[in-house]
Amino acid sequence: MQKRNLWVSATKILSRRLRSTSRFSTNLDPKLQSTKVISCSFHHAGESRVSKSSYGGNIFLANYRKNFCSLDENSGRCWNCGVVAVSKPFLSCDSCKSVQPVHASVDYFQIFGLEKAFEIEDTNLEKTYKDWQKKLHPDLVHMKSEKEKEFAAEQSSRVIDAYSTLRKPLSRAIYLLGLEGIHVDEERTVSDPELLAEILDIREAVDEASDSQSLKQIQGQVQEKLEIWSKSFESAFNKKKFEDAVTSIQRMTYYYRINDEIVKKL
């Protein structure tokens, strides 16, 4: 009888300990080396892996992706009133109107309610940008707490960055590759003699142009080239041929620089 009581007590203690760590532990078979799971982030349905921890022999979720949230982070719940978000992205609370902290798992496309794609069909990019700034601009929360003022400044700045990035094809292309973990070195020289010779000829033509009509004619030719390489990037990106996508971006960069020079002279 005494042994039975000791066993029951030990079971109760173990049960309490398991409940206290239920946020982190899983019921997966310890023999499993890794299993894909859905992200706990409200904004980001990414993937992580479950790995065995040496701490207590338990299995814990290990984060192998950048900007992946921890299990105890209520990223979909308002910090001020506690209401669960009903809309994405969760930049401000629909209930109490409080500005929320920045969550890096929300990408620029999500901020504007767009699909993650090179071609943006939504023509209301500027309108959405202005609508967000009406809710997030720091000047509009001057009567709020210092905490919310800080959130507003960060969110407003991020919306500005998102707008500036998505409205231009080149920066949008670079950002898309960045989301795939691919860095683009815009300063890298392209080893294509024909391209370099063409760029040199166009630059000389721009320097020698004496009137706006000549400059606009050259600009039209540059725009045609940009359109060609933009389509080339889109095709490569959609097919996940990222090396070709980088090549297209590097060529787009040359023509964008020439276009900037033309705009300055007009």
Concatenate the DSSP letters of all residues of 78-140 into one string: -TTT-PBP-SSS-SB-TTT-PBPPP-TTS-HHHHTT--SSSS---S-HHHHHHHHHHHH-GGG
State the pLDDT confidence band at 118, using cuts at 50, 70 and 90.
very high
Structure confidence by residue, pLDDT tens digits, 195-251: 999 999 999 999 999 899 999 999 999 999 999 999 999 999 999 999 999 999 999
Task: Indicate the range of 118-122, 139-143, 200-204 predicted with least confidence.
Answer: 139-143
Residue 27: is its pLDDT beyond 90?
Answer: no
Average pLDDT, the chain: 75
The structural architecture, per CATH, of the domain 193-265 is: Up-down Bundle (1.20)
| pTM to 2 decimal places | 0.68
| CATH 1.20.1280.20 domain span(s) along the chain | 193-265
| CATH 1.10.287.110 domain span(s) along the chain | 76-167
Q: For position 245, what pLDDT does the model report?
A: 96
Q: For position 145, what pLDDT does the model report?
A: 87
| Residue with the larger pLDDT of the pair 126 and 185 | 126
Instruction: Give the whole-angstrom CA distance, residue 219 versus residue 233.
Output: 21
Residue 14: is its pLDDT beyond 70?
Answer: no
Instruction: Note the CATH number of domain 76-167.
Output: 1.10.287.110
